[in-house]
Amino acid sequence: MRYSEMFLPTGREIPSDAEVVSHQLMIRAGMIRKLASGIYSYLPTGYRVIRKVEQIVREEMNRAGAEEVLLPLVQPAELWQESGRWVHYGKELLRFRDRHDREYCLGPTHEEVITDLVRHEIKTYRQLPKNLYQIQTKFRDEIRPRFGVMRCREFGMKDAYSFDTDEEGAGITYGKMFNAYNRIFRRCGLRFSAVEADTGNIGGSFSHEFMVIAASGEDSLVFCNVCDYAANIERAEIARPLQEKIDEKNLLPLEEVYTPGVRTIEDVSSFLQVNPQDVVKTLVFNADGQPITVLVRGNGDINPIKLKNYLGCDLLELATDEMIYQATGSTRGFAGAVGIKTEIIADYSLLELAMGNFVMGANREDYHIKNVNMGRDFEVKAFADLRLVKETDHCPRCESTLKFARGIEVGHIFKLGAKYSKAMRATYLDKNGQEQYMVMGCYGIGIGRTVAACIEQNHDEDGMIWPMPLAPHHVIITPVNINDKSQLIAAEDLYQSLRGKGVEVILDDRDGRAGIKFKDADLIGIPLRVTIGPKRLAEGKVEIRTRKSGDVETLPLKEATDFIIKCINKEMSCYA
């Protein structure tokens, strides 16, 4: 392409609403423009990178035996009512009515549509397994769109759905997708990890997220320092401690103490001069309209996702003042297990180190109780892993220490089991003529988010540094002065020669200062830049600069094409 003909509006100014580097650079390098909150247009350079990611995804999905389809964006409410998600999906689902007053939504994901398609076409085990994917626009009415295309409302996703006869087959398909995802993200030049994850709105029994490690990531991850355990903090397990009982003779009598206005764990522990781990936090939650009391040691926090999964409820929030008053007869900040009028469940931390004689709220405004003991003073219905993992915890598999990192979720694969096939009656006849539910899996990749994540990992103060497989163009040729005939002719020759060999090349034919052209080339992140200047050209030579290393190679113009092709192939093969 000739730069002068391209639609490539670059800029030096950092947009005020762009908090992360990828968002800033995508705007500055003319890749995207915002149309409305969370809704973006891709300009030619941005769209070229998008298509490169899509192509890698396509090749690897096809290699893994999946077939491409294209499903509608607009979906009828009936299908979502059948699966139950019309009610459960929440406000991210954008709903509307057509002129006949029929209800529809914009697809945030396509489990319903694909299950409907497959249930009508697949009748027997002979037609299974099947794995179908699409690369298509999704709409999710995100509460807080931010970071440009990283968390937007309209975005491109590759989503695949698999149908197997049984769990074993579904496990094999899941493994194939796991491997395909590893290949995809490696080919995109990313440093990433697959971590165990919560299944959220999609559901199912088990899932892995593919996380690009980056400080700007919205997710917190834990990794074992020794074994290969890795998980999203939302899911990271904490092993049940060995249960020790406090010796009965050490139990002290209950003692109510006056603690005026002292509500938080920090305040209670400093007021009463006790360690936070000797205070028990009593939290009343509203789970689908029912109050439930949850206990955790004062030096830990409840993980609401673990709690919601444990309770199996749809709605979970901290109880209102009204609900707290009904359960405790007191105000927020003074709840305790002794005499509370709800069921009580407790985190495993209450079993650690023979916990006893602890402090908790007295269910009376401005009072706490000392020397509370489980069993003697109140009953716990069940103990469970409900706590958020922290730095001092140990690996649930091998008990080694853990390390933490931030990550950007670029892909997510799920074992769905029969969640959708049961709800929507997607069945097949097995070898014995018996009707069985199909066992499903689903597998998503955010295309735009992958591009943004790649920029988060590959940039410097001058701009983006594309790994060759995603680079919008491989080479930019920069004649220092296009008014110098010999420079222009040399540049034109090299341009035609590279184009003839299929190299994606820009000829910067703008009549402007070389410094500005170099700055743009760096900002856009083109991996190789050929500088054609008067001094070198007089010797028949050009300079080739590598964006990533800054290394400059000076070589005869006539060798430039072969050299460039070699560089491209060499870097491409690193990611293959």
Nearer to ligand ATP, 294 or 305 (CB): 305
What does 157 bind: ligand ATP, Mg ion, none (CB cut-off 5 to 8 Å by kind)? ligand ATP
What are the distances in angstroms from CA 543 to CA 143, 249, 274, 383, 524?
50, 84, 70, 68, 19
| Residue whose tokens read 């069940």 | 382
CB nearer to ligand ATP: pick between 198 and 520: 198
Which part of the chain contacts Mg ion (CB under 5 A), choosing from 362-370, 391-399, 412-420, 535-543? 412-420
Number of residues near ligand ATP (by CB under 6 A) = 17
Q: For Mg ion, give the closer residue by CB, 208 or 536.
A: 208
User: Choosing among ligand ATP, Mg ion, none, which partner's interface includes residue 169 (Cβ < 5 to 8 Å by kind)?
Assistant: none
* Site stretch for ligand ATP (CB under 6 A), options 17-25, 361-369, 432-440, 441-449: 441-449
For the segment 227-266, give every residue that binds Mg ion (CB under 5 A): none
CB of 202 to ligand ATP, least distance (A): 6
Please identify, using beta-carbon distances, which residue of 82 and 142 lies nearer to ligand ATP: 142
- What is the DSSP-derived secondary structure letter of residue 458? S
Which residue's CB is nearer to ligand ATP, number 218 or number 237? 218
Smallest distance from the beta carbon of 278 to ligand ATP, in angstroms? Answer: 36
Q: How many residues of this chain interact with Mg ion, rule: CB under 5 A?
A: 1
Of Mg ion, ligand ATP, none, which one does residue 547 interact with (CB within 5 to 8 Å by kind)? Answer: none
Segment 266-305, which members bind ligand ATP (CB under 6 A)? none
Asked if residue 200 binds ligand ATP (CB under 6 A), the reply is yes
Nearer to Mg ion (CB atom), residue 360 or residue 408? 408
When CB distances are held under 5 to 8 angstroms depending on the partner's kind, the choice from ligand ATP, Mg ion, none that residue 105 binds is: none
Residue with the shortest CB distance to ligand ATP = 446
Cα 408–chain centre separation: 5
| Nearest distance in Å: CB 138, ligand ATP | 7
Binding mask 93-132 for ligand ATP (x = CB under 6 A): ----------------x-----------------------
Please return the burial class of 446, using the count of CB atoms within 10 Å of its CB with bins 0-12, 13-18 and 19+. Answer: buried
Q: Can you tell me the distance from the alpha carbon of 345 to that of 420, in angstroms, rounded to the nearest whole number?
A: 31
Residues 140-179 as x/- pattern, contact with ligand ATP by CB under 6 A: x-x--------xx--x-x----------------------
Asked if residue 396 binds ligand ATP (CB under 6 A), the reply is no
**Could you say which of Mg ion, ligand ATP, none residue 155 binds, taking C-beta under 5 to 8 angstroms by partner kind?**
ligand ATP
Rounded to a whole number of angstroms, the minimum distance from the CB of residue 205 to ligand ATP is 15
How far apart are alpha carbons 198 and 412 in whole angstroms? 10
Which residues 6+ apart lie within 8 Å of 52 measured at CB? 469, 470, 471, 472
Q: Count CB neighbours of 28 within 10 A.
A: 20
CA dihedral 65, 69, 73, 76 (to 10 degrees): -100
Q: Which residues lie below 8 Å from residue 510, measured CB to CB, with a gap of 6+?
A: 3, 4, 482, 517
| Of 46 and 411, CB closest to ligand ATP | 411
Stretch near ligand ATP under the rule CB under 6 A, chosen from 236-244, 296-304, 440-448, 507-515: 440-448
Residue from 176, 281, 412, 473 binding Mg ion (CB under 5 A): 412
Please identify, among the stretches 269-277, 379-387, 407-415, 481-489, the one whose residues bind Mg ion according to the rule CB under 5 A: 407-415
Q: How many CB atoms lie within 10 A of CB 1?
A: 20
Using an 8 Å Cβ cutoff, are 158 and 60 in contact?
Answer: no
What are the tokens at 331? 């105000």
* Angstrom distance (rounded) from CA 209 to CA 414: 9
Which residue, 410 or 475, is less far from ligand ATP as judged by CB?
410
Tokens read off for 439? 């066992």
Contact stretch for ligand ATP (CB under 6 A) within 50-58, 390-398, 403-411, 535-543: 403-411
- Least Å from the CB of residue 44 to ligand ATP: 21
**Which residue is closest to Mg ion by CB?**
412
Rounded to 5°, the CA angle 196-201-206 comes to: 30
- State how far the Cα of 246 lies from the Cα of 243, in Å rounded to an integer: 10
- Cβ(396)–Cβ(238) under 8 Å? yes
Spatial neighbors of 26 by CB under 8 A, at least 6 apart, are 32, 46, 148, 149, 451, 452, 455
Ramachandran quadrant class, 521 (left: phi over 0; alpha: psi -120 to 50; beta: rest): alpha
Dihedral sign, Cα of residue 204, residue 205, residue 210, residue 213: positive
Q: Whole-angstrom Cα distance, residue 93 to residue 99?
A: 20
Q: What is the smallest separation between the CB atom of 158 and ligand ATP, expressed in angstroms?
A: 8
Segment lying near Mg ion (by CB under 5 A), choices 224-232, 365-373, 408-416, 488-496: 408-416
For residue 387, give the nearest of 209, 212, 222 by alpha carbon.
222
Q: Which is nearer to ligand ATP, 109 or 342 (CB)?
A: 109
| Burial degree of 299 (CB within 10 A; 0-12, 13-18, 19+) | middle
217 contributes a contact to ligand ATP by CB under 6 A: no
- Kindly list the residues in this chain that would bind Mg ion in the complex (CB under 5 A): 412
- Kindly list the residues in this chain that would bind ligand ATP in the complex (CB under 6 A): 109, 140, 142, 151-152, 155, 157, 200, 202, 409-412, 444, 446, 448-449
